[in-house]
């Protein structure tokens, strides 16, 4: 292999630019006691390993290739990466990305747990274009419904064609110990467990992990350290920018060798934030009781600050960056591929950025930063004090000049007939307003609320009944309270998402408050699945 792969530890981040490419003997010369983790998708391959017995830092790298979906191409890269470790007894953990999987949703009878696996496999053979294999097939129960007097389980399943991955698994089984084979994205639970020591709050919260590899954006949602939701998106040039596409093509042609070349200069972080917001809305629709409490970013270093600002402004959720990436790019002898070798996981919080510096420079840098900050703070305080004194003096001068004139004008107005007429008209207007509200009564409140709800109801929502009655609110005012009964059409694949957006639309409009989704359940009418719902709300006092 003529070119090589360079990995860095956290202590060598500042010296990345001065490093030279590794020799051929250094390529994945993994100790026999280490375990290798591989995540394989249709256009990238991520490898990492950590020698736990030697107590060394984990190392990882990313292979990006638009031809990774080809089994022969993926197998060729794996053979070159693991050439030094064949038949050494190394353990392999293989994760297959859901980006390659075929997703299906279907219903099965509510049988006992020990029989459910067999029933699911039988039904999956009917909905998938191939017979799912147990190693490349995963499923879970997402809901339980009443249908025809019997309970039904709604199953969400994902499967990868065995021919897509069989050559890779055969190679790993032959030369290594294939410890785990999982159809999911690279598991973050062990990494979150380590980060829990630095961020204790993530243990009991819902956390969204945002990862970016080239033009691939992953959104993973965890609740109490367990993976619940994963979505993968291919970003187009409108988000990544034309410069990223051009630099990627140059890297594939071997024309760019500058490690500091910034390929994300035209990246649209606001567009990425909107895409993340859409995926989280989909997550909220799937898990109605969930709300993301924290976002963890795994992005290239040049995108950390703008992406954090865009996500905070769009979602109003705390954002923390937990992966500082020192990007190194070099050629591989494979077709149309380049390597991104990030550094190890470490905290990106402001208080720990200086810990990445060598020890001999930390105290000096801290002293300079503290002195510079104190100097700037003092200058700013003096400038603000001077401006406040000047404004106060101008204000006092203007106030003393106009005070006597204002008092004389007010005295003249109070004694005039026009002022007395205005006071009398104000009292009469209040009386007329009370009488008008009494005349309008319940019919006015009902019609206003009915018109507002009708205008906000989407096309795929059908209201079967709407009950309105006058109730007394906490302030003692009579307001209209409504109960909406209806159903969402089953034409959409996930009607619960549309229902969640409908409830959120009602919550955001100004005419009603305390909008709550009281009940939701699926029903089947003439083989049409419908999501029936009941929404209660209270009109705002006019």
Asked whether this chain's domains 190-322 and 443-539 adopt the same fold, the reply is: no
CB 317 within 8 A of CB 275: no
pLDDT reading at 332 higher than 70: no
* Mean of pLDDT values over 411-416: 76
CB 28 within 8 A of CB 10: no
Nearest 10 degrees: CA dihedral of 34, 40, 45, 48?
A: -20
Number of helical H runs and strand E runs in the chain: 11, 18
Instruction: Please name the residues in contact with 111: beta carbons below 8 A apart, sequence gap of 6 or more.
Output: 119
Helices (H), 82-132: 113-127
User: Mean pLDDT across the chain, nearest whole number?
Assistant: 69
Give me the architecture of the 443-539 domain, per CATH.
2-Layer Sandwich (3.30)
pLDDT (0 to 100) of residue 13: 28
pLDDT band of 349, cuts 50, 70, 90: very low
> What does the block give as tokens for 440?
């309008």
**Domain segments of the chain: what residues?**
190-322, 443-539
pLDDT (0 to 100) of residue 271: 86
CA distance 500 to 197: 35
What are the φ/ψ torsions at residue 70 (nearest 5 degrees)?
Answer: -75, 120
CB 26 within 8 A of CB 83: no
CA distance 305 to 348: 10
CA distance 430 to 69: 75
| Cα 31 to Cα 54, 61, 90, 343, distances in angstroms | 9, 17, 8, 19
Instruction: Please name the residues in contact with 358: beta carbons below 8 A apart, sequence gap of 6 or more.
Output: 11, 14
Report DSSP state, residue 457: -
Burial of 106 (C-beta count, 10 Å sphere; 0-12/13-18/19+): middle
CA gyration radius, the chain: 32
CB 292 within 8 A of CB 318: no
* Mean of pLDDT values over 444-456: 72
Choosing among 3.40.140.10, 3.30.420.40, 1.10.510.10, 3.20.20.210, the CATH entry for 190-322 is: 3.30.420.40
Categorise residue 149: left if φ over 0, alpha if ψ from -120 to 50, beta otherwise.
left
What are the φ/ψ torsions at residue 48 (nearest 5 degrees)?
Answer: -155, 155
* Mean of pLDDT values over 423-434: 75
* Mean of pLDDT values over 285-296: 80
Angle, in degrees to the nearest 10, between helices 495-508 and 417-456: 180
Residue pLDDT, tens place only, 250-260: 433 333 333 33
Residue pLDDT, tens place only, 195-229: 666 666 666 778 888 877 666 787 888 777 766 77
Compare 395 and 66 and report the one with higher pLDDT. 395
Q: What is the pTM of this model?
A: 0.37
């Amino acid at each position: 292999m003529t070119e090589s792969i360079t990995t860095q530890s956290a202590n060598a981040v500042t010296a990345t630019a001065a490093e030279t490419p590794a020799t051929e003997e250094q390529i994945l010369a993994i100790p026999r006691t280490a375990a290798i983790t591989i995540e394989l998708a249709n256009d990238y391959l991520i490898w990492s390993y950590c020698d736990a017995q030697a107590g060394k830092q984990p190392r990882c790298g990313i292979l990006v290739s638009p031809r990774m979906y080809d089994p022969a191409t993926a197998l060729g890269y794996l053979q070159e990466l693991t050439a030094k470790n064949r038949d050494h007894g190394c353990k392999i953990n293989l994760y297959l990305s859901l980006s390659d999987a075929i997703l299906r949703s279907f219903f099965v009878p509510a049988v006992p747990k020990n029989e459910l696996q067999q029933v699911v496999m039988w039904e999956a053979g009917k909905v998938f274009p191939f017979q799912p294999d147990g190693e490349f097939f995963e499923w879970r129960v997402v809901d339980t419904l009443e249908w025809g007097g019997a309970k039904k389980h709604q199953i969400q399943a994902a499967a990868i064609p065995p021919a897509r991955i069989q050559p890779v698994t055969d190679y790993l089984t032959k030369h290594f110990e294939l410890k785990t084979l999982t159809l999911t994205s690279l598991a973050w639970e062990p990494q979150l467990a380590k980060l829990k020591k630095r961020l204790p709050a993530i243990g009991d919260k819902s956390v969204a992990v945002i990862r970016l590899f080239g033009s691939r954006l992953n959104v993973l949602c965890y609740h109490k350290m367990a993976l619940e939701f994963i979505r993968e998106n291919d970003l187009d040039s409108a988000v990544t920018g034309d410069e990223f596409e051009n630099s990627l093509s140059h890297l594939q042609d071997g024309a760019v060798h500058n490690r500091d070349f910034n390929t994300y200069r035209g990246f649209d972080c606001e567009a990425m934030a909107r895409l993340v917001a859409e995926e989280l809305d989909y997550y909220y629709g799937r898990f109605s009781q969930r709300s993301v409490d924290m976002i963890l970013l795994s992005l290239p270093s040049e995108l950390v600050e703008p992406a954090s600002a865009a996500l905070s402004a769009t979602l109003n959720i705390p954002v923390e960056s937990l992966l500082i990436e020192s990007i190194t790019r070099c050629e591989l002898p494979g077709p149309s591929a380049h390597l991104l070798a990030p550094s190890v996981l470490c905290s990106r919080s402001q208080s720990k950025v200086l810990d990445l510096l060598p020890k001999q420079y930390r105290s000096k840098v801290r002293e300079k930063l503290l002195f510079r900050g104190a100097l700037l703070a003092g200058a700013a305080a003096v400038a603000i004090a001077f401006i406040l004194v000047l404004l106060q003096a101008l204000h006092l001068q203007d106030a003393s000049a106009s005070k006597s004139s204002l008092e004389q004008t007010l005295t003249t107005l109070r004694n005039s007939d026009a002022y007395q007429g205005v006071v009398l008209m104000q009292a009469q207007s209040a009386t007329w307003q009370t009488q008008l509200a009494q005349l309008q009564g319940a019919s006015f409140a009902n019609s206003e609320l009915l018109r507002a709800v009708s205008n906000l109801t989407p096309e795929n929502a059908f209201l079967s009944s709407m009950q309105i009655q006058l109730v007394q609110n906490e302030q003692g005012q009579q307001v209209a309270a409504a109960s909406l009964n209806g159903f969402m059409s089953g034409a959409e694949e996930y009607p619960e998402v549309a229902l969640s957006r409908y409830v959120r639309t009602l919550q955001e409009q100004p005419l009603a408050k305390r909008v709550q989704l009281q009940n939701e359940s699926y029903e089947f009418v003439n083989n049409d699945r419908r999501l029936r719902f009941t929404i209660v709300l209270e009109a705002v006092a006019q």
